[in-house]
Structure 1
Amino acid sequence: MFTGIVEELGVIADREDLSDAARFTVRGPIVTADAGHGDSIAVNGVCLTVVDLRPGEFTVDVMGETLSRSSLSDLDAGSTVNLERAMPANGRFGGHIVQGHVDGTGRVLSVSPSENWTVVRIGVPEKLTRYLVEKGSITVDGVSLTVSSVGGSGDDSWFEICLIPTTLNETNLGATKPGTVVNLEVDVIAKYVERLHLGNTPAVPALEVTETK
């Protein structure tokens, strides 16, 4: 599990395309400082498994399913990526519950800078809009953010996020521009609430109270 607090802005050092997958070597000295084979590291919000380690670098295999459902397919040598190690049990919970399981991709529609922050509007697939709520949580390329506004409908659905200078400087969201494709993970709690509401899981039986005299 992750929290959406990016630890490091890494760089894709190499990409090797396989028949039905891709192998990425990622440069990230902070996240590799205590990493081991088999550890989980989120790359732009996608939970990936370390298969090889070298000083300051780690290698991951990305299957075709992941490439087709995330923006990782657009990465190449030189691309910058947001990196976060899995949260330790005694770690500080700085963001929100992030699984590293991307629900879909969005496309940046506009970037509106102001003096102290930048507003980014992102087009979102209609199927994900029911999980978005103003002031709720959303993960964009692995960054835990607060939804500031929701609008549109159908294929024109969108949401907005406000980025402070720290987020702009320390994540790859500072380089976003209209047309950029980003990974989206909605709040997992919203998905479980929906499933319970639809009655797809057995209800907890009520306790039977017997009156005594």
Structure 2
Amino acid sequence: MFTGLVEEVGVLRGVSGSGEMMVLNIGAAVIMSDLKIGDSVAVNGVCLTATSVSEHSFTVDVMPQTYRNSTLKDLRTGSRMNLERAMAAGGRFGGHIVQGHVDGTAEIRSLKRDQNAIVFEIAPDRSSLFKYIIPKGSITIDGISLTVVNTTASAFTVSIIPHTLGETVLAHKRTGDSVNIECDVLGKYVDHLLHYSRGTGEEEEARSSRISHEFLAANGFV
């Protein structure tokens, strides 16, 4: 489990593999202090396992499922990436519960300055994710714990303070770039519990969620 508080920006030193599998060699400094083989690391919000560790770098495997459903397939040697080690049991919980299991990718539609902040407008690749994205709720963008400012029918906005911009890969993002997104896991569990039954897989797939903005408003959540 992670908190969405990025520890450092690493640099991709090399990529190997073929087809939809990858081995990434990532250069880092801060997280190398106690990183061990088998440890979990969030790489741009994707939970990966360290398979080898040296003084200044580590390697991770990317399987086809992760390749297809994240932006890791777009990485090239020299690419920067947000890094966070798994949360320590005795550490402060400064962000929100982040699993490192991304729900999909999204496109940055626009960047607008709002005094000391930069407002990112982001459009998810799946409209079904909007049932989990609510104003003032939590969302993870490339492994960064952020607060949703507002939503529309096809996008949502987040406001980035200078510190976050300077300490993460968001400083290098431009309109049209893709990011990984992970919605708040608490919303997913609530959604599941509200409409779960012991029907067949086909029946479950066809059943629509009862969570809506109207439902949340009527029950005092927004």
The answer to whether structure 1 residue 198 and structure 2 residue 195 are counterparts is: yes
TM-score (normalizing by structure 1): 0.90
Identical residues among aligned pairs (%): 47
Larger Rg: 1
Q: CA RMSD in A?
A: 1.0
Corresponding residue number in structure 2 for 1:127: 128
Is the Cα contact below 8 Å between 1:5 and 1:144 reproduced in 2? yes
Aligned length: 197
Task: Determine the C-alpha separation between the residues in 1 that align with 2:121 and 2:67.
Answer: 24
Is the Cα contact below 8 Å between 2:20 and 2:67 reproduced in 1? no
Task: Determine the C-alpha separation between the residues in 2 that align with 1:55 and 1:64.
Answer: 28
Is the Cα contact below 8 Å between 1:33 and 1:56 reproduced in 2? no
- What 5-or-longer segments of structure 2 have no aligned partner? 199-222
Corresponding residue number in structure 2 for 1:102: 102
Task: Determine the C-alpha separation between the residues in 2 that align with 1:14 and 1:101.
Answer: 23
TM-score (normalizing by structure 2): 0.87
Structure 1 residue 20, shift from structure 2 partner = 3.9
Task: Determine the C-alpha separation between the residues in 2 that align with 1:176 and 1:37.
Answer: 31
- What 5-or-longer segments of structure 1 have no aligned partner? 202-213
Structure 1 residue 114, shift from structure 2 partner = 3.1
Task: Determine the C-alpha separation between the residues in 2 that align with 1:199 and 1:27.
Answer: 44
The amino acid across from 2:71 in the alignment is S
Structure 1 residue 113, shift from structure 2 partner = 1.7
The answer to whether structure 1 residue 169 and structure 2 residue 170 are counterparts is: no
Structure 1 residue 19, shift from structure 2 partner = 4.2
Task: Determine the C-alpha separation between the residues in 2 that align with 1:112 and 1:85.
Answer: 31
Corresponding residue number in structure 1 for 2:175: 178
Structure 1 residue 47, shift from structure 2 partner = 0.3
Moved over 2 A (4+): 17-20
Corresponding residue number in structure 2 for 1:62: 62
Task: Determine the C-alpha separation between the residues in 2 that align with 1:56 and 1:4.
Answer: 23
Task: Determine the C-alpha separation between the residues in 2 that align with 1:131 and 1:20.
Answer: 29
Task: Determine the C-alpha separation between the residues in 1 that align with 2:137 and 2:183.
Answer: 9
The answer to whether structure 1 residue 158 and structure 2 residue 127 are counterparts is: no
Structure 1 residue 199, shift from structure 2 partner = 2.9
Task: Determine the C-alpha separation between the residues in 1 that align with 2:32 and 2:195.
Answer: 42
Report SS of the residue matched to 1:31.
Answer: helix
Report SS of the residue matched to 1:32.
Answer: helix
Structure 1 residue 176, shift from structure 2 partner = 1.4
The verdict on how the C-alpha distance between 1:142 and 1:187 changes in structure 2, with shifts beyond 3 A counting, is same
Structure 1 residue 127, shift from structure 2 partner = 1.1
Structure 1 residue 18, shift from structure 2 partner = 2.7
Task: Determine the C-alpha separation between the residues in 2 that align with 1:64 and 1:70.
Answer: 10
Report SS of the residue matched to 2:33.
Answer: coil
Higher alpha-carbon deviation: 113-122 or 5-14: 113-122
Corresponding residue number in structure 2 for 1:93: 93
CA shift digits 1:69-89 (9 cap, x unpaired):
000000011000000000011
Structure with greater proportional helix content:
2
CA shift digits 1:101-154 (9 cap, x unpaired):
0001000000002330000000012010000110000000000000000002xx
Task: Determine the C-alpha separation between the residues in 2 that align with 1:19 and 1:141.
Answer: 23
